[in-house]
Amino acid sequence: MIRKEKALMSHELDRRTFLKAATGSTAAAASLPAAAAAAPTTAPSSAQQYGVPSGPPAVPEYATVAPADDGAELMLRAIAANGVEKIFMNGGTDNYHFMEMVAKFKALGRPTPDLVTVTYEATALYMQLGYFQWTRRPQLTVLHVALGTINAGGAWDEALRANAGLVVMAGIPGQTTKGELGYSQRGGIQYLQEVPNQADVVRPYIKWDYEIKRVENAGLIINSAYRMAASEPCGVAYVTYPMEVAEAPLEGGLLYQADDFAPATSAQGDSEALRETAKLLVQAKNPLVSVGHMGRHPEAVASLVALAEKLSVPVASRDRFVNLPKNHWSRSGADLANRDVILVIDHPTPWIADPSKTAKIIRLDNDPILQRFPFQGHPTHIPITCNSALALPLLTQMCDEFITAERQAAFADRKAALVAARAAADERAAAAIRRARTAYPLSTTWINECINQVADEDTVITSDIGGVGQQYDRTQPGHLFALCGASLGGAWPRALGIKMAAPDKMVISAGGDGCTIFSDPISCLMVSNMYDVPTLHIVSNNNKYNAVERGLARYGGVDSYAAKAGYNGSALKPSPNFAGIARAMGAYGEKVTDPTEMPAALRRALDAVRGGQAAVLDCVTVRE
């Protein structure tokens, strides 16, 4: 809804009509019993007591009055006004109003998001996360009361750690029980759904929450949610509402223009701190750049390349996103020994063992002291609050002030060493690939290399393992999305969200067998079929929770009781028939055990996706 010079658009109600309805019996007291409506009022109102002028309801200056028959219609108008394209819907007895309203808006030709039915809550939240990571625009996930909120599980953690701007709405049980309002009341099941302070169940993972208590402010609260979600550091805005708000009868409702509630602009960073950083980097004898989540802003990648090339500084990238092209000569390991200056960019956990005490450590981050982490032990001498995509160009420019002929000669020597080290590392990687090509059983090294062979620059890859992003030959910014948090299972549903946002892209997701189980394959395959969003999911199937088994082996040793018992608790045997599950859902499914068959199997799966069919490859990496 767009307001033009304070005039209402042609389809809006006249303000006087709205005010008359708001002050009349229809909006104010029609639902009350007759005796209550007629009862005299002798006590002063709270407005009179506290000196607030009383009178008829007002239309705020920045509001317009839009046609709306009830609260649900007003809420959808506000959602559409914020540019939302998709509602990822997990239906319940509290939120079916959105189903009716989307259908109504489409039938009447009104602007409205598409409603996407998703059968599992985590899938719905992950899909919005993927959609946001591709578009950088918050959408909407609708969940079912507290239970649906809880059932989104680990997706909340991934949204937090990935700084994803998401909006989530969920109903709360009705606030009336005996028809006191005449239009809505609590049903029997809602007594079993209610918990105290519903938002508390996810508050550690969200940025902002609010309950819509009055339908009059529903539009304003929804605008606030989208503003909060989209402002850096981006995060989840969680909005709840009772049935009485959704079903409140209206003769028009207050709507607000999204442009009047714009998200906050990002910070470029303190100029003096950036200048000091530039001086330290130029004069450093052995600097290092450690980067983690920076590539969530694709425009930052070129700026990091420019800094690396100007100073010949090594870059250690934890590729959860494309932070630096895979083939760039400045790529280096995270060797912290003897470093004198370390620049950490958007990396919450850049190391485990500390660098030298003499090293100067600088952080560029929208939260450089990691306030969102209850505890962290990484020292930082110059924490700079900023959007790294904005700070890096200025930092690179500031370096010019301190570069001398002597430093340029040192940079040239350092570049030669980095190029040689990169060539040696590439040869080691190539040798490992040659060994893996025919080695039985299949290895993740060979699986990833086969993906590299078929994935062009426009292919998007999502991964459920945060540490393997650098194994993919990604050079195009914004085309890799790996795990940012601690919960597995998001790669496949995130891929669906990306595919929905970018239908012309080939999207490949990858994860282990445990990750795939957490993904809820049936939910993912249903979405693929229902909405024509075919993707390829690749299972690296080792019949176990590998991280759990490694920890157990470290604790008890290879001869531990658990090892002798077959690692009960981490073993996933017998393995699910992932390819069979895919075929049962109408997708292409194939099991691969022979490494020499991997390239052909991958081509067959991709051909299926290009033909509009989802595909799953079950790649077994253990001896059968």
pLDDT tens digits, one per residue of 460-474:
999 998 666 678 999
d(CA 306, CA 446): 32
For residues 219-227, give the mean pLDDT.
98
Which residues, 6 or more positions from 70, have their beta carbon under 8 angstroms from its beta carbon?
97, 246, 247, 248, 249, 250
Contact 466, 484 (CB under 8 A): yes
Residue 511: both structure tokens together: 């994860």
pLDDT of 46: 56
Residue 9 lies in a domain: no
pLDDT of 27: 42
pLDDT of 34: 42
For residues 500-515, give the mean pLDDT.
97
pLDDT of 31: 40
Confidence of residue 35 (pLDDT cuts 50, 70, 90): very low
Residue 428 lies in a domain: no
Q: For residue 473, give its domain range.
A: 437-620
For residues 112-134, give the mean pLDDT.
98
pLDDT of 57: 82
d(CA 176, CA 169): 20
Cα 457 to Cα 181, 297, 429, 507, 596: the distances in Å are 59, 18, 20, 11, 25
Range of lowest pLDDT (335-344, 437-446, 520-529, 552-561): 552-561
Residue 589 has pLDDT above 80, yes or no: yes
Residue 292: both structure tokens together: 């983690």
Residue 339 lies in a domain: yes
The sign of the torsion formed by the CA atoms of 330, 335, 340, 342 equals positive
pLDDT tens by residue, 184-216: 767 778 778 889 999 999 999 999 999 999 999
Whether 409 and 486 map to the same domain: the answer is: no
DSSP H helical segments within 170-215, as ranges?
A: 188-193
pLDDT tens by residue, 65-101: 999 999 999 999 999 999 999 999 999 999 999 999 9
Whether 336 and 242 map to the same domain: the answer is: no
Residue 432 lies in a domain: no
Whether 204 and 306 map to the same domain: the answer is: no
Whether 547 and 568 map to the same domain: the answer is: yes
Whether 314 and 199 map to the same domain: the answer is: no
How many CB atoms within 10 Å of residue 467?
A: 12
Which residue's structure tokens are 């932070």? 323
Whether 174 and 253 map to the same domain: the answer is: yes
pLDDT of 21: 56
Whether 253 and 122 map to the same domain: the answer is: yes
Residue 288 sits in a domain whose CATH number is 3.40.50.1220
Residue 2 has pLDDT above 80, yes or no: no
d(CA 225, CA 209): 8
Q: Give which of 273, 267, 261 is closest to 226, Cα–Cα.
A: 261
Residue 142 has pLDDT above 50, yes or no: yes
Confidence of residue 22 (pLDDT cuts 50, 70, 90): low
- Pick from 203, 231, 261: which residue ends a domain? 261
- Pick from 388, 422, 456: which residue ends a domain? 422
Range of lowest pLDDT (330-344, 442-456, 555-569): 555-569
Contact 322, 293 (CB under 8 A): no
pLDDT of 10: 42
d(CA 478, CA 462): 11
Q: In percent, how much of the chain has pLDDT > 70? A: 91
Whether 155 and 192 map to the same domain: the answer is: yes
Residue 488 has pLDDT above 80, yes or no: yes
Domain count of the chain?
Answer: 3
Mean pLDDT score across all residues of the chain: 91
Residue 170 sits in a domain whose CATH number is 3.40.50.970
Q: Find the length of the chain.
A: 624
Whether 106 and 196 map to the same domain: the answer is: yes
Residue 53 lies in a domain: no
- Pick from 368, 399, 422: which residue ends a domain? 422
Residue 248 lies in a domain: yes
Residue 329 has pLDDT above 90, yes or no: yes
For residues 579-589, give the mean pLDDT.
98
Residue 119: both structure tokens together: 């059968």
Whether 108 and 24 map to the same domain: the answer is: yes
pLDDT of 36: 41
Residue 496 lies in a domain: yes
Residue 45 has pLDDT above 80, yes or no: no
Whether 241 and 290 map to the same domain: the answer is: no
d(CA 280, CA 274): 10
Whether 406 and 317 map to the same domain: the answer is: yes
pLDDT tens by residue, 298-324: 999 999 999 999 999 999 999 999 999
d(CA 82, CA 139): 9
Residue 41 lies in a domain: no
Confidence of residue 6 (pLDDT cuts 50, 70, 90): very low
Could you tell me which residues are beta bridge partners of residue 297?
none
Residue 211: its H or E element: strand 208-211
Residue 39 has pLDDT above 90, yes or no: no
